[in-house]
Amino acid sequence: MELKLNYIRAIISRSFTHFIKQVTNRKIEYKDLRKTYITHLTMALGDKTKFFTGHSNDAIIQNNYLADSVLASGLSNVNIFGDQLP
């Protein structure tokens, strides 16, 4: 069973790489898709994300999966002082 699962993972990874190369020159890997998904999930759910990812605590998610660039871009909608500056 484990051999079949590893084979399927390898096929998915190679397929993803093949199709990404068709649309962009950027080096994007299959793991980047997972990292982006978990980052957006964390932005939406906060500390409840671990229930969907299966990780035991938030430190694992914060240290390994959160994409700083995506989190920073999400800050553009945050209004700390309540009023827009001119």
* pLDDT for 1 beyond 80: no
- Burial (Cβ within 10 Å: 0-12, 13-18, ≥19) of residue 79: exposed
Cβ atoms within 10 Å of 65's Cβ, excluding its own: 19
Mean pLDDT comparison of 24-28, 67-71, 74-78, highest-scoring range: 24-28
What's the pLDDT score for residue 80? Answer: 47
Dump pLDDT digits (tens) for 27-67.
888 788 888 888 888 888 888 888 888 888 888 888 887 77
Residues 6+ apart with CB under 8 A from 13: 29, 30
Q: Which residue is associated with the tokens 């920073």?
A: 72
pLDDT cut 70: percent of the chain above it: 76
